[in-house]
Amino acid sequence: MYSNFNYPVFAYYTNLRVQRLWERGPALYDALNRLPGDGILIAYKASDVTPGLRQDWLDSNSHFRRLREFPSLVVYEYCTKSGAGFDRGVTSGDGQPRFCAIPNRR
């Protein structure tokens, strides 16, 4: 799991290994283009507390697939191989196509 905000909370409640994204501004988008492995990205929307990630950029990047939207954030699945999982016909428990492997728990 990747996050640039509230990462300790996600680690605690999901029991997933969370990698904090320390970069800011253009460097953050460079880092998003080369994450080290498949996983989940927590993308906060812009607010008074956090600058947020541009959802238009994430939605147009073939490494990311929007999974679920909440009022303050959007959950994306990240796959190191651009769009790789759609061709495999793999489905999640709800029958929806899986983009790539969900990361291992700690």
Helix, strand or coil, per DSSP, at residue 104: coil
pTM to 2 decimals? Answer: 0.75
Whether pLDDT at 104 is above 80: no
Burial annotation 87-97 (CB, 10 A radius, 16+ → b, else e): eeeeeeeeeee
User: Given this model, what pLDDT does residue 52 score?
Assistant: 77
Token pair belonging to 36: 């080290």
| DSSP single-letter state for residue 91 | B
Domain boundaries, the chain: 2-88
